[in-house]
Amino acid sequence: MAKRPIEPFRIKVTEPISLPSREERDKCINEAGYNVFRIKAKDIFVDLLTDSGTGAMSQKQWAGIMIGDESYAGGRNWFHFERTIKDIFQKNFVLPCHQGRVAENIFFSTVLRKGDYVPNNTHFDTTRANTMHKGGIAVDLPCAELDDEKSDFPFKGNFDTDGLRALIEKVGPDSIPVVIITLTNNSAGGLPVSMANIAEVRQICDQYGLLLFFDAARFAENAYFIKKYEAGFENSTIREIAQRMGAYADGVMMSAKKDGLANMGGFLAVNDEKLAGRLKELLILIEGFPTYGGLNGRDLEAIAIGLEEALEEDYLAYRTGQIRYFGEILQEVGCPIITPTGGHAIFIDAGRFLPHIEPVRFPGQSLTVELYRRGGIRGVEIGSLMFGGVDPNTGDVLSPKREMVRLAVPRRMYTCSHLEYVADIMAEVVRDKDKLCGYEIIHEPTFLRHFTCTMKELAGKPAGVVSER
C-alpha cells in the first residue's frame, strides 16, 4: 500500500466544489467541443488541469496582500520582491511581469532573430510558441534516459549535452542566441535536472560563448530533488542549492504561478546591465513601469513571500511526497504512468494505455474526456493535440514522441482524499478502456491549438458505461 504524506498545514478557509450529474457532464463536454479548456470551472469536481496559479496562498501571503503598496513607481513591495529574487537566483537585475509567457515574449523579442535555433531540454508549450512566433526554431534535447521506461534514474529531466554540442557544431553558435534549461522539465514528466548537468551545459555555453537562461517555473521542486538524490547536496539547504543553480545561469525567466506560490506573476532576472536595459524598454511598452510590471503591489508581496515558502523543506517533502503517492495509487489500479514521478504532476502514458487509438486520433484526449465524463476530473492532453499539427514557420508535420495525459496537482490545495477519488475513477476507466474512441479536430487556430480547438468523437456513441455517480 502506498504511504500517504501528511499536509504540513491545516485548512483555514474552504471553497466548495461539487460534482455535476453524469447527464450534466455529458452536456458540458459536448458543448465544449470535447476540449476541457472550454468547460466552466464550476462544472469541474477535481481540477488537475494545471498547477499554475491555482494553488492556495498561506496566511502569511494573505497578510502580505494587506501591506500592498499600489504606488505607480517605487512601491515598497517591489523592493522586497527584487531583493528576494536577486538573492535566490544570484542575479543583478530583476524585471517583473504578469506571467511567465510575458517574460518569454519580452526576452525572445529582444534576443531572437528569424531563423535562430533555441535549444532547450524540453520547451514548454508557451516557450515553444513564443520562439516560433518570433521566427525561431525550438529544438528539444532531453536526455536519453527519458525514453528508457525501465530506468529509475532520478534526473530524467536532464539536457542531452551531446545533442547540444552536435547542434552547436551543425548550425554554428551565431545562430543560437540562448540555451534554455527548463527546471523541472515540465513537458518531460516534470522531472528534475541535476546540478552536474546544469554545470555541464554551462561549460558548453562558455566554450561557445552562448547565453544560458533558466525557465525556472519549478526551480524549488528541482532543488529539492537535487538535495534528495544528488551526492554532495544532502546537507545543503534548498536555498543554497537554488542559489548555486542560479549562479550558473546568465538569466532566469520565471512564471511565479508555480514555485512562486502565487496566483499571478512572473519575472526576468539577468546579470548583464545592457541586456537588462534592452529588456526594460519592451517591458515598459507592454507591461508597465519596471517596479510593478503588470502586477499589483500586493501581488509582488505575495510572490516575495511565496518564493521563500517554496524553499521550506517540509513543504517540499510533502509536495513531492503527494505526487509520488498519487502516482502509486494510480499504478495500483492499473494506470500506466511515467516513472519516476516528478515534482508537480502525474503523466499518464496514454499511448500505452490506449494502444487501439492511433496518435493522430489523440489517445490522450480520449482519456482526458473520459476522466471528465466519469468523475468531473479535468486533466490535460500532452501529446499530438498539444504538440502535433503543422509548424507554422517550416510547414513540417510535428509529431511528439509520447502521447500523455497530465494530472497536475495545485500546490497546498487538494488533500490525499481528492487524489484517492481520482484513483477510484481511474479504476473504472481501466476496466472499460477498450471502449474509448479517438477524436478528430473540427476547428483549430495557428498557435497553441489545444487551448481553443474543437473536436468530434470518431465513434457514434460516448465510450464507457454510465457511472453510478
Binding interface with ligand F0G (CB under 6 A): 50, 52, 99-101, 124, 126-127, 182, 186, 215, 217, 255, 257, 266, 408
Q: Which of 91, 257, 433, 450 is catalytic?
A: 450
- Tell me the pairing of strands 380-382 and 377-378: unpaired
- Cell 468547460: give the residue: 39
Is residue 280 part of the annotated active site? The answer reads no
Distance CA 415, CA 454 (A): 32
Q: Which residue is nearest to ligand F0G (CB)?
A: 100
The least distance separating ligand F0G from the CB of residue 123, rounded to whole angstroms, comes to 8
The least distance separating ligand F0G from the CB of residue 245, rounded to whole angstroms, comes to 15
The least distance separating ligand F0G from the CB of residue 50, rounded to whole angstroms, comes to 3
Question: 227: how many CB neighbours lie within 10 A of its CB?
Answer: 19
- Tell me the pairing of strands 137-140 and 117-120: parallel
Is residue 418 part of the annotated active site? The answer reads no
Would you say 127 or 194 has its CB closer to ligand F0G?
A: 127
The least distance separating ligand F0G from the CB of residue 344, rounded to whole angstroms, comes to 8
Would you say 223 or 463 has its CB closer to ligand F0G?
A: 223
Q: Is the dihedral of CA 404, 155, 183, 252 positive or negative?
A: negative
Distance CA 343, CA 465 (A): 34
Would you say 35 or 50 has its CB closer to ligand F0G?
A: 50
The least distance separating ligand F0G from the CB of residue 466, rounded to whole angstroms, comes to 31
Of 237, 352, 320, which is closest to residue 51 (Cα–Cα)? Answer: 320
Q: Which of 125, 272, 424, 432 is catalytic?
A: 125
Distance CA 401, CA 16 (A): 39
Would you say 136 or 464 has its CB closer to ligand F0G?
A: 136
Inter-CA distances, 56 with 12, 13, 42, 59, 364, Å: 11, 10, 18, 10, 28
The least distance separating ligand F0G from the CB of residue 355, rounded to whole angstroms, comes to 26
Distance CA 168, CA 210 (A): 10
Is residue 72 part of the annotated active site? The answer reads yes
Q: Which of 98, 258, 280, 433 is catalytic?
A: 258
Distance CA 91, CA 150 (A): 39
Would you say 186 or 384 has its CB closer to ligand F0G?
A: 186
Distance CA 325, CA 453 (A): 33
Q: Which of 124, 219, 224, 315 is catalytic?
A: 124
Q: Which of 43, 116, 215, 299 is catalytic?
A: 215
Is residue 217 part of the annotated active site? The answer reads yes
Q: Which of 129, 217, 256, 276 is catalytic?
A: 217
Is residue 124 part of the annotated active site? The answer reads yes
Would you say 126 or 322 has its CB closer to ligand F0G?
A: 126
Which residues are the active-site residues? 72, 124-125, 215, 217, 258, 450
